[in-house]
Amino acid sequence: MKHPSSRTFFAYWDSQRGTAPAPERSDIEPSAVRELLGDIFVLSCAAAAGYPFRVAGTRLCALFGRDIKGESLPGLFAVDSRSECQDILAVVAEESLPLVAGLTSSQRGGTVAHLELLLLPFAPRLHTPLSLTGSLALVGPRIGGELGELRLAAWRTLGRPSQRLRPRILRKWEVARGLMVYEGLR
């Protein structure tokens, strides 16, 4: 991770999860990361709704020149990067893996801004919609003007490697315990 706010927020999130794959949403205390709140967001993990922002920090909104609460995170990306953005959001949500990504955004005048996106899952709870948190911050000097469409440059998971590339049925078999019934011929 390049940006200090990403490193600080990840360290706090990691300390709150303990040995669990992810902390519960109630374990994250905003006052503990007060200086980072401008870069932090919370997303609803509703793929059909486009992973909308539930909460978006003030510095994050200032980067886009508007309040982005309720907007879709993949909707901020260029068309050719949206499906990959949805894929990495699914990895974070389904696999409970933290992820860091490098992004770029072209502005008017041809200036390219470099950003760092940190995505952190929350532990799933019964009868509670799944959500995740993270931060988005500029890497490098402050830019003038609003960001254009985002493009994904690179990404990597943090912690254990993703098992996403293996068929889902094999992952289910790995965690199956106890009695298993296999359907077959009579």
Other CB atoms within 10 A of residue 76 CB:
21
What pLDDT is attached to residue 13? 94
Examine the pLDDT at 117 and tell me if it is beyond 80.
yes
Per cent of the chain over pLDDT 90 is 54
- Pairwise CA distance, residues 38 & 88, whole Å: 23
Average pLDDT over residues 157-164: 61
For the stretch 33-59, pLDDT in tens is: 999 999 999 999 888 888 999 999 999
- Pairwise CA distance, residues 148 & 105, whole Å: 6
State both tokens at 82: 């949206």
Examine the pLDDT at 93 and tell me if it is beyond 70.
yes
- Pairwise CA distance, residues 184 & 176, whole Å: 19
**Which band of pLDDT confidence, cut at 50, 70 and 90, is reported for residue 178?**
low
Name the fold adopted by 4-160. Answer: Beta-Lactamase (3.30.450)
Q: Could you give phi then psi for residue 183, rounded to 5 degrees?
A: -80, 145
Pair 159, 97: CB distance under 8 Å: yes
What pLDDT is attached to residue 186? 53
What pLDDT is attached to residue 111? 83
- Pairwise CA distance, residues 93 & 51, whole Å: 10
- For the chain, the domains span 4-160
Average pLDDT over residues 6-20: 92
Average pLDDT, whole number, for the chain? 84
